[in-house]
Structure 1
Amino acid sequence: MDLQISVFLLFVLFTAGHSLRCYECTGLTGSCDQTVQTCPSGSSQCMSITSVTQIGDTTSKGTIKNCAAACLNMSMNTGISKTTTSCCSSDLCNAQDAPEPVPNGKKCYSCDGQSCSAILSCSGTEDRCVNATATFGGQSAVVKGCVSKSVCDATASVSDYASISCCEGNLCNGAQSVSQSFLFLCCSLLSYFLLH
């Protein structure tokens, strides 16, 4: 019996001091030089983020790898930018870049700066369509695209994300532009006041 307790205490002693190690790098040109980092306490996962942005004929790829306290396996595609995050929880498990997801057959609307009627093919775990209002430099813009359920769940639990809504089903995030929605709202209000 004493031998079992001694073995258990030795096991606890040797495993308690183990810290997670992850690869760390930031590359804005597609790849990056990885270094090994011992994660601070509270970090229980390694992450790898790959982002591809396409503006006209120019494509740029960025990669980030690091320790994370909380990480979501997810993918988000707005037509202009596609971001994939991969999470894992063993030593040096983030050696590979986040995988490029394969098309899954789902379709959502996306915005191209002029209208929100472009049809986007979703891929990987992107099983929801998103409709959001974002502010860039004081200008408000509509963002539409494909997202993973995990992104929708994370934004639903934070009240600051009231301008983000997710839906299921092909093309459920609507093609109308903000000005059309505003015009419809104004017409509805005018009808209400005239008829009552």
Structure 2
Amino acid sequence: MDLQISVFLLFILFATGHSFSCYECMDLTGSCANQNVKTCPSGSSKCMSLTTVTQVGDISAKVKTKLCAADCASGSMNLGMGRTSFLCCNTDRCNIQDAPDPSNVPNGKKCYSCDEKSCSNILSCSGSEDRCFTATGGFGGQSTVKGCVSKSICDSQASVKDVQGASCCEGNLCNSAQSVTQSFLFLCCSLLFFILLQ
């Protein structure tokens, strides 16, 4: 009889469900020292940590972020003016550690990247970035973002709203140079915010 009661209580515990949670923070000083536990919304079953390093001229900034995600992959992405490393995991509160700083050690791979004027800049990929990518979007016009990315991120099922054509390719400079429109920064920011808020 006691065994039946124990099994029934265990069934009730499992039937009521368990809320999936992740650590959450955003820190502009380069460390997520003050992180909170957040119950993830429905559809989010992964936790993510990101480290983004942005370089504009002589000014450099590092942002550490932790959050819930519906889909993500571990790896890195390099847009030229910014590099991001991603750590993705799928257990409760698994994103306790910060994502490492993105590698800046060239790996021999080269891809095109864009700035406000053109998409013919040649970018040296680093770390695990073994693919080139191109993404286009429609934010008040057609804009393009190009750079280096890890294969794992290319294979991720995540999609970015308002980005019609995102593709990855192998081989040096396989994401061919093209001109860019004035809304480049909107697409670039949208991709970054999607990654941060996914």
Q: Using structure 1 for the length normalisation, give the TM-score.
A: 0.69
Q: How does 1:69-88 map to 2 (within 5 A)?
A: 69-88=70-89
Aligned equivalent of 1:146: 148
Count of residues in Structure 1 that have an aligned counterpart in Structure 2: 177
Identity value in percent:
61
Q: Using structure 2 for the length normalisation, give the TM-score.
A: 0.69
> Which stretch of structure 1 is more off in the superposition, 51-60 or 143-152?
143-152
Q: How does 1:1-196 map to 2 (within 5 A)?
A: 3=3, 9-16=8-15, 17-32=17-32, 33-102=34-103, 103=105, 104-134=107-137, 138=140, 140-153=142-155, 161-175=163-177, 177=179
Cα drift, residue 129 of structure 1: 0.6
Cα drift, residue 34 of structure 1: 0.6
SS in 2 for 1:132: strand
SS in 1 for 2:171: coil
> Could you give the per-residue CA deviations for residues 32-52 of structure 1, whole angstroms, max 9, x where no partner exists?
421122334443221112222
Check conservation: 1:54, 1:80, Cα contact below 8 A.
yes
> Could you give the per-residue CA deviations for residues 99-137 of structure 1, whole angstroms, max 9, x where no partner exists?
23444432212224344343322234422111234566x
Check conservation: 1:155, 1:161, Cα contact below 8 A.
no
Given the superposition, is the C-alpha separation of residues 7 and 97 from structure 1 closer, same or farther in structure 2, using an over 3 Å criterion? same
Q: Which runs of 5+ in 2 are unaligned?
A: 182-198
Aligned equivalent of 1:183: none
Aligned equivalent of 1:188: none
Higher Cα radius of gyration: 1
CA distance in 2: counterparts of 1:39 and 1:131, whole angstroms? 30
SS in 1 for 2:98: coil
Q: Which runs of 5+ in 1 are unaligned?
A: 180-196
